Amino acid sequence: MRKRSVFLLFWAFILLSLTACHSPKHDARVMQRTLSSQMLKAESQSDSLLSLLQAGTTLDQVRELNDQAPEILFYVYEQNQLIYWSSNWLAADDIHTSDSLYGWWYRLCNNAHVVARWTHAGDFDLLTVIPIKYQYPFENRQLHNTFIPPFEGDEGYQLTELDISGFYPIYGPDSLYLFSLVGNQPSEQPEQLRVPLADSFSYRQLVDPNAERPAWYKRPRILVRFYWGFLMSLFILLILLGIGGVIRHRGFRNMKLRTRIVYVVIAMLMAAFVYVFSTSTRYVRAHYQQRQQNELRQKTLLIQSHLHDLYFATNPPRTVDGSALSGDLLKLSYIYESDIHLYDSRGHLLATSAPELFQKGLVSTLMSPEPYFSSDSLGLYYEHIGEMRYLAGYIPFQGNEAQPVGYISVPLFISEIEMHREINAFLSRLLPLCILLLLLTVAVSFFLARGLTRPLSQLSAKMSHFRLGNQENHIDYPYQDELGDLVRHYNDMVDQVERASSQLAKSEREGAWRTMARQIAHEINNLLTPIKLNIQQLQRMRGTERFDAYFDRTATSLVTAIDNLSHMASSFSTFAKMPEVVVAPTDIAQRLSAVITLLRSNSEQVPIRYVGADAGVMALADPEQIAQVFTNILRNAIQANASDIIVILNQNYSDTQVEISISDNGAGIAPEDQAKIFAPNFTTKSTGTGLGLAISKNIVEASDGAIRFESSPKGTTFYIYLNKYQN
């Protein structure tokens, strides 16, 4: 219960923290810090700008300084005449020097909330403006009353110059009140911008935001969505399969080579698709924009020529009058299907074909400062309304004597609908080909990888089942490629291994038999020599009185020697035959107890103690030959001058094996002899062939068991391990 309470308190704290982080009070503190930083930066920029102006610098240098802080707007007045402005997007035509001459103050312009500050130096007045939030008097799908970077906040927040309870006040660096932040408020439906489509061409998507998409736009878009969704589904499926394969095999390198080839090919194809899609989309977009820019450039030149002919090709030339000019621009806008603005020589709006846009405060009455302060006669410049960028072509409007009358501006919103239509039309032809190519690549890569790795799989299978003398060790691969070389080298290696193993086996057999023959010859010679001497002695004593007594004594020795020779021949024959071990379920306790009972009546009278079950312990071994193992080891223990032998059957040694230990308290095995104890011709006794332990080791290991020993001067223990029989 206590843990549950702590858990609930923890999550309650997290939720409260998140709520606090997004509360109006928190956002007001963030806005206060951001605004203070911007004001300090703007004041520094203002002082530098006024210093340049008083030093008689050019406006180009002023613009370079202004580029260091593009989010701060500057308006320079000389003797109450506007001579420089850093941007034209802010509709701030009604701000005058009489508003305030001291410190920062808040102002709601036609299209934005701002704080401003006047600075005076000599003949110059500098208006510094920090825009905070867009404020348009209408709703639009593409225009929003969002905060202007670096400010952040919810779009529903309102700014007001009222300082009342419930609002969050914002102060300047001088601690003077500027405005208040109001939390999210349910706003009434604002007034819509209603401009007839025939009256506005460039801004059509703004003044008619809810226009129905044309049929020619919908069809490619639906096809692209279907193809794109299908392609993304394939990509996601392949990615999930790849991740599952990596997890299943615990790493990419542990996966089968065939699978890795398929994944690598598909991954490379996917990367190529991403590159082709992104490059193609950028190319279509750039191509469309370039085409629109060329058309706008041509249209601007035609409008300039048309206006020049209309006003200066007549005799006498017509007077450029604002009211009459607006009517002419409206007519030209229908001819060229574009809005037209005409600015005077000071950069102020003189006439326009779409006056409602300026009356609503959507666009400033100042022309863009870039073409105005530029020496280029014709240029295309990007401007923005809120967060929307559009292209505008500027060209001088000159009289007959090349006297500048003003500037012609032709705006153009590059149609997102048209551009997306071209992109969708292109993708609707490209995506089916990509899907088909992807499916074909998956299939081809699978079969190709299968064909490439098949010889390797065959090679692995052949190597795992390799047996000397097997005629199926070779691999058949008829092709002459790199895998063919590998298979050919493998087949050559198999032939060489078989030849070498045959020669090695022959050499080992010959060496073993030679060694065995020397050992047997030595043992036989050791026995034949006393036999020969005894017989010769009998020959010399024949006919004497001691012959009968010596004969009786010698006959017994000769019989014993002949028995040793017989036992030696039998052991040698057994080792030479090496009968195959037939593993079967065997009552190992019964076999062991029977051998112990038989050997307890030994001539040396060495006691044998047994610890374990007399029957019922089943293990996997050859029933006949395992008894020979016990007999050989027990005989060695009896002959080791031991006074006590202990045999222990541990049927609970492990879940899969039983353990038989045979211990004696003899002199043990010398350290230098322990490495040779299982050699087929090694013995430490004066009699014997040294084959007993070698035969025992072969029988145990052929039963998939193990045998080992531990020896010290206090005795020797042999351990035999056999697998349990699992019912």
| 189: confidence class by pLDDT, cuts 50, 70, 90 | very low
Tell me the residue ranges of DSSP E strands in 192-333: none
* Distance, CA of 467 to CA of 476 (rounded, Å): 17
What average pLDDT does this structure show over 443-471? 66
Residue type, 433: L
| 223: confidence class by pLDDT, cuts 50, 70, 90 | low
pLDDT tens digits along 647-658: 999 988 888 999
pLDDT of residue 723: 92
Determine phi and psi for 536, rounding to 5 degrees.
Answer: -60, -40
Is pLDDT above 90 for 659?
yes
pLDDT tens digits along 493-521: 777 777 777 777 667 666 666 666 665 66
Is pLDDT above 70 for 194?
no
And the tokens for 222?
Answer: 């639906």
Longest dimension (CA), the chain: 182
* Residues forming beta bridges with residue 343, ordered by sequence position: 349, 407
What average pLDDT does this structure show over 150-172? 88
pLDDT of residue 595: 81
What average pLDDT does this structure show over 255-270? 73
Q: Which element (helix H / strand E) includes 491?
A: helix 482-541
pLDDT tens digits along 24-80: 888 999 999 999 999 999 999 888 888 888 888 777 777 777 777 788 999 998 888
What average pLDDT does this structure show over 246-265? 71
What average pLDDT does this structure show over 364-389? 85
pLDDT of residue 464: 63
| 662: confidence class by pLDDT, cuts 50, 70, 90 | very high
* Distance, CA of 633 to CA of 221 (rounded, Å): 90
Closest CA to 339 of 388, 389, 411, 391: 411
And the tokens for 446?
Answer: 């699978």
116: left (phi over 0), alpha (psi -120 to 50) or beta: beta
Give the dihedral of Cα atoms 206, 207, 209, 211; nearest 10 deg.
Answer: -130
Is pLDDT above 60 for 192?
no
pLDDT of residue 667: 82
pLDDT of residue 9: 57
> Coil, strand or helix: which one is 125?
strand
And the tokens for 257?
Answer: 């080579």
| 198: confidence class by pLDDT, cuts 50, 70, 90 | very low
Closest CA to 190 of 334, 343, 360, 71: 360
* Angle at which helices 547-577 and 482-541 cross, to 10°: 170
CATH architecture for segment(s) 215-420: 2-Layer Sandwich (3.30)
- Determine contact, residues 284/426, Cβ cutoff 8 Å: yes
pLDDT of residue 148: 93
Q: Which element (helix H / strand E) includes 718?
A: strand 715-723
pLDDT of residue 361: 81
Closest CA to 128 of 175, 77, 55: 77
* Distance, CA of 560 to CA of 563 (rounded, Å): 5
| 190: confidence class by pLDDT, cuts 50, 70, 90 | very low
Q: What is the pTM of this model?
A: 0.56
Closest CA to 58 of 384, 375, 413: 375
pLDDT of residue 438: 72
pLDDT of residue 20: 47
Q: Which fold has domain 2-192?
A: Beta-Lactamase (3.30.450)
Q: Which fold has domain 578-723?
A: Heat Shock Protein 90 (3.30.565)
| 257: confidence class by pLDDT, cuts 50, 70, 90 | low
Is pLDDT above 50 for 322?
yes
pLDDT of residue 195: 43
* 365 or 360, higher pLDDT: 365
With a CB cutoff of 8 Å and minimum separation 6, the contacts of 634 are 595, 596, 599, 608, 645, 647, 662
- Residue 691: CA atoms inside 13 Å, Cβ hemisphere, count? 23
The mean pLDDT value of the chain amounts to 77
And the tokens for 60?
Answer: 């180009």
Looking at the chain, the whole-number percentage of residues with pLDDT higher than 70 is 72
Of 81-85, 216-220, 281-285, highest mean pLDDT: 81-85
